[in-house]
Chains A and B, each alone.
Chain A
Amino acid sequence: MHTIKTLLGLEFKSKFGSSGLKDKKAVIRLVVSLAFFALVIYFLYAGAKLIFGMFDVAGMARQALTLIFTLLFILFCVMGVSNTIKVLYYKGDNLILMRFPVTDGEVFISKTLFLLISQTAITIGSVVPMLLAYGVTVGVDSFFYAMIPAVIFFLIAIPYFISNVLAIPFMHLTNRIRNRFGLIIAMLAVFIAGMFACYMLIFSSIVTFLNDSSLTIFSGEVVDMIKGMTYYFIPTKYFADLLLKQEVYFAMPALIGLTGALGAGTVAVITKMYSKTLLKNVEIEGSAFKKITVNKPRPVFVALLKKEFIQIFRSVNYSFQYFVLACAMPVMVYFCNDIVTAIAKQSVGEQAAMGISILVMLIFATVITSFSATSVTREGNNFYQTKVLPVPIRTQLLSKFVIYAIVSFSATLICVTALAIAGYISALNALWLFGITESLALAMTLRSMKYDIKKPNFNMVGEGELVSNNTNTGLAMGFGFLVAIVMGLTSIFAAYFLTQTYMYLICSGLAVLIIAYCLLTFFYKVTKRYNAIVHR
């Protein structure tokens, strides 16, 4: 028992760092985290209230509850499988723990307790505000509130058991494709773009509802379809039944039976396969692929570019987020632009369209360029190589910049082309928009790189892999969002109060100023600062 407690403590420490409010910074961090948490809860409550209101007008409050439970259930299962794989099977500490006098059972129990506690916190934090929103919007009796703990219990237990049963097969699948980077990036890009498109379609419906909340946004056919579909959503419709006192005598035993069966399945999987899989995974984590190449001389700069590309492309934690976001950016820009332009045109006028496009494009460009805030520290333990090589630091930095520039150039070009083809902007405007957003994206890349050079944060995980986000990424995002807002609002106001020509002139001037600022701050003592970086 003592061992389990120690291991559980270690698990929490590795996830959240050392506990305690030792200094002012720790207190501020806690307050900010709590404020952020409260904000998320509020948004969940407000968002759920809006959705339940929308469905209630159409007489589908119960179906809305089932749909929300279904979405949460799928999300918890996906998160559960992913966390179970990470914590139980892939976490670097498995290798360390195996050397200590602790049993497989103790390691499993401590890790699974950690997963359960995390899942309980997430479930309560997300489900309670939504159910309260339902109660307030639709009007419910005390039975509804009394049943909330039971529903939360099932929402924790069932996804948890499903995750444990599915984790091993999923892990074997990912092990098979783990070195096929191109395939994974393509699959993730399609998945994220699809998810985003769905999300924006829902958002679009909400916008329509907000414009006239007395009307239902659902046609009769859609209402019938949703009602028919949700009837078959098992087991999630039982959660709604339980809360709304409908067929409780069937829903409750069904959920208990399902939990019991999945629990038994989990016990069987764990006892038969946990130890074996753990050992196999420790072995697989060090495995690598074979690639037969020939000795081929390349110019120095091309060699640097190739090295940069390999470092990003073959880094699981980093490249998947970077390339996947870049690939999905055009879809995101298209949908965002579509919805926000519709709102802005209604409230401001036709003149707002270009400003909105600039704002949206720059927000997504910021997300992409913020990755360059780890361009130097990503070298990790190989940072010494950059100092030892007979290549000027500026050339090495240029190679990093060019890699980011190629990605942002391609993403921006596709975005602008998509907007032009869809008819949101003319060809000439598209050219101007491309010039402005791409040059600002390049300037923001330089700014992000300088953040990394000025205050490098060599934070590694696993096999020397850099964690993708750190303070510098946050700073880069903050700067980018500020540029996006300033540029977007200037464009909207200039077009509204002055003329379109003035808008182009003012925005171009402002962009030149921002670019000049980024260039100056980047080149100011860049080599000196780089040479002053000391790592190991």
Chain B
Amino acid sequence: MLKIDNLYKKYLGSERFSVENLSLELNKGEIFGFLGKNGAGKSTTIKCLTGIFPFNSGTITICGHDISSDPINAKLNMGYVPDDHSVYEKMTGREYVNYIADIYRVSKADRDARLNQFLDKFNLQRAVDLQIKSYSHGMKQKICIIGALIHNPRLWVLDEPMMGLDPQSMSEILKKMREHCAEGNTVFFSSHNLDLVAKICHRAAIVSDGRLHSIIDLSVEENQKTLEETLWQ
């Protein structure tokens, strides 16, 4: 579903690599956590695989499509939720979701059904026709998530998705992650919340100083317990 091979990324003017020789492979139907301290290279890796940042070397393929040589097909299979919930705030929620749905060529029947389902799930029915700039932090995050899922992507990428969310919203997003995964899709998300990762993920990768430290199989109960210890090593 997602394959990263020997990824190297150095920012312009920087002397060191922010991501160095990173390789990962995510399977179908898996929730994959991406862990690391601040500045470890999590967001940089995510921004490279979503096409936001160019990278120095390595390959990234999404559903068999190379993000560098075949970016359109790679992106068509992916939905992305950024860490800062940036959306076009001058649009109403419905205008924004329709814009994204148009870009991903979602049919009217599919967008009607999915949007209604999401609005119910996230309790946004009353706000969807208001300008997004009036939304709360959590509501913006939810409209971002709806935008990322309106085309039912095979790979759903989230950068720190739980930041600043209330417990109810967090639980709704976790539920949606599990549902999305159960449909045979893959979820890849970065987080600082070890408990959450241990609870929901099938596997997790730990990055440190831009390098892959380890990949942990969280289906093994022992590994769940020692996750924190492994992270600090």
A391 CA / B105 CA spacing, docked (Å)? 11
13 extra A-B contacts, CB within 8 A, seeds A299-B102, A300-B103, A307-B88 = A289-B131, A295-B108, A297-B108, A300-B102, A310-B90, A382-B86, A382-B88, A384-B52, A384-B82, A388-B78, A391-B72, A392-B72, A464-B89
B56-77 CB contact bits vs A (8 Å, 1 = yes)? Answer: 0000000000000001111110
A292 to chain B, nearest CB (A): 5
A299 CA / B72 CA spacing, docked (Å)? 16
A307-328 CB contact bits vs B (8 Å, 1 = yes)? Answer: 1001100110000000000000
Residues of A within 8 A of B84 (CB): 381, 536
A286 CA / B89 CA spacing, docked (Å)? 11
Instruction: Flag whether A303 is at the interface (Cβ < 8 A).
Output: yes
A296 CA / B115 CA spacing, docked (Å)? 12
Interface residues of A: mostly helix, strand, loop or mixed? loop
Residues of B within 8 A of A86 (CB): none
Instruction: Flag whether B133 is at the interface (Cβ < 8 A).
Output: yes
Instruction: Flag whether A245 is at the interface (Cβ < 8 A).
Output: no
Residues of B within 8 A of A300 (CB): 102-103, 105
A531 CA / B55 CA spacing, docked (Å)? 10
Instruction: Take A292-B129, A311-B90, A534-B53 as given contacts and tell me if A390 and B103 are in contact as well, using a CB distance cutoff of 8 Å.
Output: yes
B87-A288 in contact (CB<8A): no
Residues of A within 8 A of B112 (CB): 295
Instruction: Flag whether A293 is at the interface (Cβ < 8 A).
Output: yes
B72-A390 in contact (CB<8A): yes
A293-B134 in contact (CB<8A): no
A315-B90 in contact (CB<8A): yes
Query: B102 touches which one: A286, A298, A534, A536 (CB < 8 A)?
Result: A298
Instruction: Flag whether B104 is at the interface (Cβ < 8 A).
Output: yes
Residues of A within 8 A of B98 (CB): 293, 295-298, 303
B92-A293 in contact (CB<8A): yes
Instruction: Flag whether B220 is at the interface (Cβ < 8 A).
Output: no
B94-A293 in contact (CB<8A): yes
A314 to chain B: closest residue by CB: B90
A307 to chain B: closest residue by CB: B99
A143 to chain B, nearest CB (A): 58
Instruction: Take A296-B108, A382-B86, A534-B12 as given contacts and tell me if A288 and B130 are in contact as well, using a CB distance cutoff of 8 Å.
Output: yes
Instruction: Take A295-B98, A295-B111, A463-B133 as given contacts and tell me if A310 and B91 are in contact as well, using a CB distance cutoff of 8 Å.
Output: yes
A380 CA / B89 CA spacing, docked (Å)? 11
A277-291 CB contact bits vs B (8 Å, 1 = yes)? Answer: 000000000111111
Instruction: Flag whether A222 is at the interface (Cβ < 8 A).
Output: no
Residues of A within 8 A of B73 (CB): 390
A534-B129 in contact (CB<8A): no
A290-B107 in contact (CB<8A): no
Q: Enumerate the 7 nearest inter-chain pairs by beta-carbon distance, A residue then B residue, closest first.
A: A288-B131, A303-B102, A288-B134, A390-B75, A381-B86, A314-B90, A390-B76
Residues of A within 8 A of B191 (CB): none
Residues of A within 8 A of B50 (CB): 384, 387-388
A288 CA / B11 CA spacing, docked (Å)? 38
Instruction: Flag whether A306 is at the interface (Cβ < 8 A).
Output: yes
A522 CA / B75 CA spacing, docked (Å)? 26
B130-168 CB contact bits vs A (8 Å, 1 = yes)? Answer: 111110000000000000000000000000000000000
A430 CA / B193 CA spacing, docked (Å)? 68
B79 to chain A: closest residue by CB: A388
A337 CA / B134 CA spacing, docked (Å)? 46
Residues of B within 8 A of A303 (CB): 98-99, 102-103
A388-B51 in contact (CB<8A): yes
Instruction: Flag whether A225 is at the interface (Cβ < 8 A).
Output: no
A463 to chain B: closest residue by CB: B133
A531-B54 in contact (CB<8A): yes
A63-86 CB contact bits vs B (8 Å, 1 = yes)? Answer: 000000000000000000000000
Instruction: Take A293-B92, A295-B94, A536-B84 as given contacts and tell me if A286 and B129 are in contact as well, using a CB distance cutoff of 8 Å.
Output: no
A381 CA / B84 CA spacing, docked (Å)? 9
